[in-house]
Amino acid sequence: MRTLVASCALIAMLACATAPAPAPPADVVLRAGRVFTGDAARPWVSAVAWRGDRVVALGSDADVQPLVGAATEVIELHGRTVLPGLHDAHVHPLGAGREQQGCPLSEAKSVDDILARVRACAAARPGDGWIVGRGWDLSLFPQANPHKRLLDAAVPARPVYLEGADGHSGWLNGAGLAKAGIGKDTPNPANGVIERDADGTPSGTVREAAAALVEDQLPEPTLDDDVRALGWAVARLHAAGITSIMDASVDERRLAAWQALASKGELALRGVACIGVEPTDATAALEHARALRSRFADLPLAPSCAKIFLDGVLEGETAALLEPYLDRPDHRGTLNATQAQLDKTVALLEADGFAVHVHVIGDGAARAALDAFAAATATNGKAGRHRTLAHLQLVHPDDAPRFAALDVTANAQSLWAYPDSYIREVNLPQVGQERVDRMYPWGTLVRAGASVVGGSDWPVTTVNPLEAIEVMVRRQDPALVAGPVLGKGEELALEVALGAYTAAAARLFGHADEVGALRPGARADLVVLDAALSAERAADISDAKVWRTYVDGRAVYRADGPAVPQP
Ligand SMILES: [Zn+2]
């Protein structure tokens, strides 16, 4: 294909100048639609054509007509929307697949609903082994702190461990606490909390590093289990219109699962994988990341990124704040490393060519991470780094201009950016209205010149990017036509929100030459939605459904195709 194009160009210079040879026909033409190109000079056109894995033409229906040949598949869009393949810049596909294989709880709407599902899971898996689930809604419980009693009533004899939806809290029954060896005399581990009754007895909830005391005891899934889980997750990503991802936290097992899936030839997904590293020991972090990067160098999902968990979450009061929590005036949360440790870790990783992706929830963590990037620039000089801070529930206004100055991308989980029950019932008493009003400040960051990308954090929240894009634009509950707004003025224009899921993310991933915008020569990664998207009817954005998803010009999802089987 490449030679053909090159020789045609050569012919064009010699003979074709007077009598141009007709361009070879396209394989596929989509026309009579609304095509978002991602090109600011011409953001919307009506038709797109590709040949092989490359876009060959965009424009009006008449512009692409000369490319229609006898064998060209012509698809009339009837006003459907085409977007460049969507990028999910913070997602945990294996976690989502494992949740589906275990006892999934993220759809449960009440405490009784959770308990009924757990009972059903136990009945479906006879024996005396662990029942493992995840995804329960923390806001269903006072202080996000469920008691073991509730689970004991549902499943008294077998150990049960249920990870919360945010991934930072776990809930056990009495048998689970006993099996994990967590008792009255067990001290809180570093960076972890065992919630307790007044007499010091563990009450059933564990936070952050305390969850590791349990997770070390759970049965390990096999590689086959993980490959099936990942295969299911990739099919779900395609069904959501996603063609590129940043896997936000991988270890050796996750990379091995990606590699096994890729070696079956079933990985039609691009992106970057971020290797989880401990920021407390810079040298060990670098060695660990280098070892995995070289071992998995051939992976289509390049392990060229390192992930640092810098703080926790507001719900558990483990997020690091600049000012204290209102209900604990002596407490600002904690960073998972000292500033000196963090500075050294970031500088070493970046000097070795790693992109650095940091989990930050509190404004204290955001500042510490920005300080570390500034220190790394001072040490290493300015180079093409791909820095990203994910979540950013609170950012001090003074820090907003530093994103652009330090080339730090804001990685937005926008589905969280409306006044839901977490924010109203759990976060508001913790941090107060003034801080609630400036949560997830995407508008402020964009006005300060920052690049914003979008990520789902699936399975923490839904994989559907259209819900998150709608919240980016409206800052209201996507299920409501009109609801309360979080942070007036923090809304983004529709094109900026679409850019967050396409061109801006492609830049962050280092793929902007290939994907992220539709233009001749780009890869034919694109998604077709069954509706028109418009800023005027923003409340309808999340109602649109994916109709087709293409990777390299090949349909990897069709709404009228077979359903995704369970993993
Ligand atoms: Zn995450």
Shortest CA distance to 529 belongs to which of 86, 85, 84, 81?
81
Shortest CA distance to 339 belongs to which of 313, 369, 317, 316?
369
Per mean pLDDT, which range of 27-36, 162-171, 452-461 is the poorest?
162-171
pLDDT at 308 over 90: yes
- Give the per-residue pLDDT at 139: 86
Give CA–CA dist 26/50, Å, rounded. 5
Give residue 92 CA to ligand 1 midpoint distance, Å: 6
CB 308 within 8 A of CB 277: yes
Give residue 553 CA to ligand 1 midpoint distance, Å: 30
Question: Helix/strand/coil (H, E, C) string of 324-355?
Answer: CECCECCCCCCCCCCHHHHHHHHHHHHHCCCE
Q: What percent of the chain has pLDDT over 90?
A: 82
Shortest CA distance to 398 belongs to which of 448, 443, 432?
448
The two structure tokens encoding residue 13: 């210079």
- Give the per-residue pLDDT at 2: 39
Give residue 447 CA to ligand 1 midpoint distance, Å: 26
Side by side, the strands of the sheet bearing 301-309 are 86-91, 242-250, 270-276, 301-309, 355-360, 387-391, 408-412, 452-454
Give residue 472 CA to ligand 1 midpoint distance, Å: 18
User: How confident is the model over 496-554, as pLDDT tens digits?
Assistant: 999 999 999 999 999 999 999 999 999 999 999 999 898 899 999 999 999 999 999 99
Query: Cis omega (within 30 of 0) on the bond before 459?
Result: yes
**Per CATH, domain 223-516 is 3.20.20.70:** no
CB 500 within 8 A of CB 26: no
Average pLDDT rounded to a whole number, residues 13-31 = 74
Question: Helix/strand/coil (H, E, C) string of 215-270?
Answer: HCCCCCCCHHHHHHHHHHHHHHHHHCCEEEEEEEEECHHHHHHHHHHHHCCCCCCE
- Give the per-residue pLDDT at 7: 43
User: How confident is the model over 329-348, as pLDDT tens digits?
Assistant: 999 999 999 999 999 999 99
pLDDT at 352 over 80: yes
Calculate the alpha carbon distances from 195 to 161, 310, 357 in Å: 15, 22, 30
pLDDT at 17 over 60: no
- 301-309 vs 270-276, strand pairing mode: parallel
User: How confident is the model over 130-146, as pLDDT tens digits?
Assistant: 999 989 998 899 888 99
- Give the per-residue pLDDT at 231: 95
Give CA–CA dist 331/316, Å, rounded. 12
Confidence of residue 6 (pLDDT cuts 50, 70, 90): very low
Give residue 424 CA to ligand 1 midpoint distance, Å: 22
Q: What are the sequence ranges of the domains in the chain?
A: 2-79, 93-215, 223-516
- Give the per-residue pLDDT at 166: 79
- Regarding the domain delimited by 93-215, which CATH topology (the fold level of the hierarchy) does it fall under? Diaminopimelate Epimerase; Chain A, domain 1 (3.10.310)
CB 205 within 8 A of CB 197: no
Confidence of residue 1 (pLDDT cuts 50, 70, 90): very low
Give residue 232 CA to ligand 1 midpoint distance, Å: 19
Give residue 91 CA to ligand 1 midpoint distance, Å: 6
pLDDT at 63 over 60: yes
Give CA–CA dist 298/335, Å, rounded. 34
Give residue 419 CA to ligand 1 midpoint distance, Å: 20
Average pLDDT rounded to a whole number, residues 161-182 = 93
- Regarding the domain delimited by 2-79, which CATH topology (the fold level of the hierarchy) does it fall under? Urease, subunit C; domain 1 (2.30.40)
Residues by chain with Cβ below 5 Å of ion ligand 1: 248, 457
Average pLDDT rounded to a whole number, residues 547-563 = 93
pTM of the model: 0.88
- Give the per-residue pLDDT at 563: 77
- Give the per-residue pLDDT at 398: 97
User: How confident is the model over 85-114, as pLDDT tens digits?
Assistant: 999 999 999 999 998 989 999 889 999 999
The two structure tokens encoding residue 179: 């099996």
Count of beta carbons in the 10 Å neighbourhood of residue 186: 17
The two structure tokens encoding residue 337: 């490393």
Average pLDDT rounded to a whole number, residues 424-443 = 95
pLDDT at 115 over 80: yes
Give CA–CA dist 388/359, Å, rounded. 9
